[in-house]
Structure 1
Amino acid sequence: MRKCYILLLCLSLLGCQQAESTQHANNSSKNVIMIMVDSMTGELVHASLKEEADKFPALQFLVENGNVYNDLVAPFPSMSVSIESTLITGEMPNKHSVPGLTWYDVKNDRLIDYGTSIETYRKLGFKQSLEDSLYNLNNVHLSKETTTIFEELHDRGIKSGAINLLLYRGKTEHEIEPPAIIQWTTGLSEKIKTNGPDILSFGTFYRPKELQTELLPDALLLKAGLSDYYATEAITKLIKNKEQPPFLLAFFPDMDKRTHRNGPPYVHGLKTVDDHLQRILDAYGSWEEALEQNVFILFGDHGQASLVENEERAKLNLHELYNQYNIAPFGEKPSSGDIVIANNHRSAYIYPINKQIQKEELVDVGLQDPRMAIVASEENGWIEAWSPDYHQPLKFKKGGEWKDSYGQQWTIEGEVDVLKLEMSDEDKLINYTEYPDALNQLYSALHSLPNSIIVTAKPGFVVFSETTPVHNGGGEHGGLHRDETLAVLIVSGTDKEFENPRIVDLKDYILNLFDE
């Protein structure tokens, strides 16, 4: 029993100074500390500061001394793995080749899952799933046709670091050594070679030389170091030891689970994040000195949509909806069934294996449930997006006379209300409302897993299939709606504006900071 408990803790997050500033090769005077807080939204930040501002002094300080962007747009599907891939490459899934937390590897005929649940890992195989998360994700799955921010900074001669990120590919070789209990229970290799930034810290799996002699909270009972607390300690040690790199990116994962359980916005859960931020700011002579030496970028990776209280009502069950087709259970070759479901909690890719099954019929079946928001597919360069609430689809493709708020151009036909688009005939501008950047999101997702269709649920519901968690009465993400694709971005220590902020554009924004 203890073996399973320890393994669960170690896997739970794998799915999900008083020092002089280091000078950069370009003589920039400021370092960049970037912290991604899972599920942090503008609604959550403003509710926290409005209700109990005195309990959030660090957040208040960063907000008062920076720019706040409430509508930072995440890529789709709004899952941390695909979002991190977009963050570090500056590309959407069709370019970086990580379609979601779960996706179908057509070439090798297997489902890939980076951490949906312990039950998913058990059925797909602990060893294979961990190898996917710890090695393949960065070194095989993430497209080598893209370059990461760590690789580009390395080429500029600028040192960088990553703390507790699943996506971290760089040009420095590291050897991850899984805890002995993980090796013992899964048969995983003793050491896994991977390429990352100059400083790579990943819980108890890997500690960089800069932190080898430090006492850090990396006990197994603290989630193998994959926690906000560990990340905070690693950051503060680097600062105090004058080992802080010019660019440091860290991940705070704990808010995600709190919001899943309690629903958004969970103000109480953000208090712990503020405590950690205070510790980081305290590592300098003063908080003002921290901003003199650094640009602080604090942001959420996505939001969460509230789910209805009733569990059966919350579950949009794809096995029941598509019961006319054979779906291979986890643990068997996906191609032994008629279709494959790659579930990303509030959305899913559905891939037809049986060549007699047309995508059009899978779309029709998906539209039979009124809890479905959007069902989309691609054919001959056109994306068709359907909704159970309308009789006609919206059709669109890249290029054309219509331009959205991100400067992307489109040709559009059909029912624009499917994606709640506001169209200005006078100047040919598209305004997004309920589904921010939806045209680009659906286009990139469908081209990241060609020949699939995408189904997404309305707010209140989760797309359910084998081993999918259901947080009824709480929160969930993975879909297309603004509730889950909008996060918050707080930039302190620079006056550089960020127009129409999206996570896909953050990489260029950061690189430009080092050009100043």
Structure 2
Amino acid sequence: MNRLTDHLIIISFDCLSALDFPIIKELPHFKTILQNGAMVENVESIYPSVTYPCHATIVTGKYPNRHGVINNTLLQPGRLSPDWNWFRSSIRGTTLYDEVKKAGMTTAALLWPVTGKADIDYNMPEIFANRPWQNQILVSLTSGTPRFQWDLNKRYGHLRNGLSQPELDDFVLEAAVDTIKTKKPNLMLIHFTDLDSMRHFHGFSSDEAIAAIHRHHSRLGRIMVALEESGIKDNSTVVVLGDHSALDENKAVHLNVLFKEHNLITTNSRGKLVKWKAYCKSCDGSAYIYIKDPSDTITYEKVKSLLSEMIQDPTSGIEQVLSGSQAAERGADGECAFMIEASLGYYFLEDYEGDYIKTITAEDVKADKKYTLATHGYSPVKEAYGTILMAAGKGIQPITLPSIRLIDEGPTFARLLGVSLGDTDGRVIEELLKL
């Protein structure tokens, strides 16, 4: 299969929405991409539409129940901070970076989700120290390419302020510019989370979110200059994409509080979870409900009855209830007993103490980062909830398409680099390509 480009730079601006188009079309660097390349006005995300499953879908062309990353975090009932799907081993089957490397090309990834311990030439994975005894730099170094990361940390580590934004993305930008100039990879995956953070903590259309879009515009400009200075611009393709959108909310639903009241969750005298029969696992705007023993029909029927009552109540925060098989039909985890969708203005948390519903204020968000004012994870068919894709450079046809699906991106990117992802759920969007 012939290669359509020599260097593919994929920039993920986490939480970039189709609704952002009126802003970005007026900004010069985005405008350069749009005037010289392709634009997809609406990209349908996946279910649940959260970051780690989305980014695994982008590099596999598969729905979560096929690539295996069915949520951001693992099912660890009672753990205050569950572990995330950090590692490549979470993904079943092949990925874009695997196939590109197999074809003898060089690969690089900067804070791209689910790349811990991946076979990537220059890898700085997204992972954080989640245990009191762990050191952040050591955790990163041992999960990616040690010397590559060490050099970048030595040069640009002073820009970081822990995991805070916008400083983290400023660090990622300098690492990206440096990597383009010194390594000139054939495939480069870059993940920026500034906009996602600002939307979570301040709201979808907040001044802080708009400012983050403008910062992303500057970051895009710096990357384009780096391609020029490295001498590879004419043989490169730049893709700018989002993984999901977000919706404003101010009410957190704690279904596990109800489960505890009905003796489906048991805690000790210190309030620590010691036993569970049913558990609501949050995906933010949606949630999985798991039954610990799948053969426990009594618990299953009890949960089903509870959900049937709640769906009748417009103040319950639950808009829709799916069975496990219905969830699987939508590409989500078929191992769940049920999957629930939040009503507009609501999202799910995993607390099992306190009130069933908590109204969130800006003060709550400042005090505790588990609270947010806008979030994702909702059904991708919710209204005004699409994301976006634009691309320019070698192999790209100047065209505007009304819509594609997130599952179509991986096969299309693979085709640009002359490789195949095999049996995918998505298809190559040939209309975007100069074949």
Secondary structure of the structure 2 residue equivalent to 1:250: strand
Which residue number in structure 1 is paired with residue 265 of structure 2?
Answer: 327
Q: Residues of 1 paired with 2:227 and 2:68: CA distance? A: 40
Distance 1:469 1:271, change over 3 A: farther
How far is the alpha carbon of 1:482 from its aligned partner? 3.0
Q: Is residue 375–residue 456 contact of structure 1 (8 Å, CA) maintained in 2? A: yes
Distance 1:207 1:42, change over 3 A: farther
Asked if 1:301 is matched to 2:243, the reply is: yes
Asked if 1:33 is matched to 2:9, the reply is: yes
After superposition, give the CA deviation of every residue in 1:361-389 in whole Å (9 maximum; x if it has no partner).
2541441432322110046xxx3xxxxxx
Which residue number in structure 2 is paired with residue 344 of structure 1?
Answer: 283
How far is the alpha carbon of 1:476 from its aligned partner? 1.1
Which residue number in structure 2 is paired with residue 461 of structure 1?
Answer: 346
Which residue number in structure 2 is paired with residue 394 of structure 1?
Answer: none
How far is the alpha carbon of 1:234 from its aligned partner? 1.2
Secondary structure of the structure 2 residue equivalent to 1:186: coil
Q: 1:250 pairs with 190, 196, 221, which one? A: 190
Q: Is residue 173–residue 194 contact of structure 1 (8 Å, CA) maintained in 2? A: no
Asked if 1:92 is matched to 2:63, the reply is: yes
Secondary structure of the structure 2 residue equivalent to 1:482: coil
Distance 1:207 1:133, change over 3 A: farther
Q: 2:254 pairs with 305, 317, 320, which one? A: 317
Which residue number in structure 2 is paired with residue 232 of structure 1?
Answer: 173
Please, which moves more after superposition, 360-369 or 93-102? 360-369
Q: Residues of 2 paired with 1:346 and 1:89: CA distance? A: 24
Q: Residues of 2 paired with 1:48 and 1:66: CA distance? A: 15
Q: Residues of 1 paired with 2:267 and 2:68: CA distance? A: 25
How far is the alpha carbon of 1:443 from its aligned partner? 3.3
Q: Residues of 1 paired with 2:283 and 2:20: CA distance? A: 23
Which residue number in structure 2 is paired with residue 399 of structure 1?
Answer: none
Which residue number in structure 1 is paired with residue 321 of structure 2?
Answer: 375
Q: Residues of 2 paired with 1:256 and 1:441: CA distance? A: 27
Amino acid at match of 1:270: I
How far is the alpha carbon of 1:216 from its aligned partner? 1.5
Secondary structure of the structure 2 residue equivalent to 1:489: strand
Q: Is residue 302–residue 484 contact of structure 1 (8 Å, CA) maintained in 2? A: no
Q: Is residue 78–residue 273 contact of structure 2 (8 Å, CA) maintained in 1? A: no
Question: How is 1:35-50 mapped onto 2 (pairs within 5 angstroms)?
Answer: 35-49=11-25
Q: Residues of 2 paired with 1:229 and 1:89: CA distance? A: 28
Q: Residues of 1 paired with 2:150 and 2:186: CA distance? A: 15
Which residue number in structure 1 is paired with residue 378 of structure 2?
Answer: 479
Distance 1:469 1:187, change over 3 A: farther
After superposition, give the CA deviation of every residue in 1:282-314 in whole Å (9 maximum; x if it has no partner).
224489x87523211001111001224xxxxx2
Secondary structure of the structure 1 residue equivalent to 2:12: strand
How far is the alpha carbon of 1:280 from its aligned partner? 1.3
Q: Residues of 1 paired with 2:386 and 2:20: CA distance? A: 12
After superposition, give the CA deviation of every residue in 1:217-238 in whole Å (9 maximum; x if it has no partner).
4555253898221221112112
Amino acid at match of 2:63: M
Amino acid at match of 1:506: E
Q: 1:267 pairs with 194, 198, 210, which one? A: 210
Which residue number in structure 2 is paired with residue 81 of structure 1?
Answer: 52
Which residue number in structure 1 is paired with residue 406 of structure 2?
Answer: 503
How far is the alpha carbon of 1:264 from its aligned partner? 2.1
Q: Residues of 2 paired with 1:372 and 1:177: CA distance? A: 35
Asked if 1:278 is matched to 2:247, the reply is: no
Which residue number in structure 1 is paired with residue 370 of structure 2?
Answer: none
Secondary structure of the structure 2 residue equivalent to 1:336: strand
Amino acid at match of 1:279: R
Amino acid at match of 1:511: A
Which residue number in structure 1 is paired with residue 107 of structure 2?
Answer: 160
Q: Is residue 176–residue 191 contact of structure 1 (8 Å, CA) maintained in 2? A: no
After superposition, give the CA deviation of every residue in 1:114-161 in whole Å (9 maximum; x if it has no partner).
xxxxxx32xx5xxxx3xx555xx322x322xx1111111111112111
Q: TM-score, normalised by structure 2?
A: 0.76
Q: Residues of 1 paired with 2:160 and 2:267: CA distance? A: 32
After superposition, give the CA deviation of every residue in 1:459-514 in whole Å (9 maximum; x if it has no partner).
21112331999865731111115358521111112118778522222111001112
Distance 1:207 1:147, change over 3 A: same
Q: Residues of 1 paired with 2:40 and 2:358: CA distance? A: 31
How far is the alpha carbon of 1:276 from its aligned partner? 0.9
Distance 1:30 1:154, change over 3 A: closer
Q: Is residue 31–residue 245 contact of structure 1 (8 Å, CA) maintained in 2? A: yes
Asked if 1:70 is matched to 2:10, the reply is: no
The percentage of aligned residue pairs carrying the same residue is 18
Q: Residues of 2 paired with 1:83 and 1:177: CA distance? A: 16
Q: Residues of 2 paired with 1:177 and 1:86: CA distance? A: 17
Distance 1:227 1:469, change over 3 A: farther
Which residue number in structure 2 is paired with residue 424 of structure 1?
Answer: none
Amino acid at match of 1:249: L
* Structure 2 unmatched runs, 5+: 363-372, 419-434
Asked if 1:138 is matched to 2:75, the reply is: no
Which residue number in structure 2 is paired with residue 413 of structure 1?
Answer: none
Amino acid at match of 1:293: N
Secondary structure of the structure 2 residue equivalent to 1:302: coil
Asked if 1:221 is matched to 2:221, the reply is: no
How far is the alpha carbon of 1:38 from its aligned partner? 1.0
Q: Is residue 100–residue 417 contact of structure 2 (8 Å, CA) maintained in 1? A: no
Which residue number in structure 2 is paired with residue 18 of structure 1?
Answer: none
Secondary structure of the structure 2 residue equivalent to 1:157: coil
Which structure has more RCO (C-alpha within 8 Å, separation ≥ 6)?
2
Q: 1:171 pairs with 113, 119, 123, which one? A: 119
Secondary structure of the structure 2 residue equivalent to 1:465: coil
After superposition, give the CA deviation of every residue in 1:9-65 in whole Å (9 maximum; x if it has no partner).
xxxxxxxxxxxxxxxx9665531111000110121132344xxx3xx2211211222
Q: Residues of 1 paired with 2:122 and 2:107: CA distance? A: 14
Q: Is residue 39–residue 303 contact of structure 1 (8 Å, CA) maintained in 2? A: yes
Asked if 1:443 is matched to 2:384, the reply is: no
Q: Residues of 1 paired with 2:162 and 2:245: CA distance? A: 25
Secondary structure of the structure 2 residue equivalent to 1:208: helix
Distance 1:260 1:111, change over 3 A: same
Distance 1:472 1:95, change over 3 A: farther
Question: How is 1:10-29 mapped onto 2 (pairs within 5 angstroms)?
Answer: 28-29=4-5
Secondary structure of the structure 2 residue equivalent to 1:98: coil
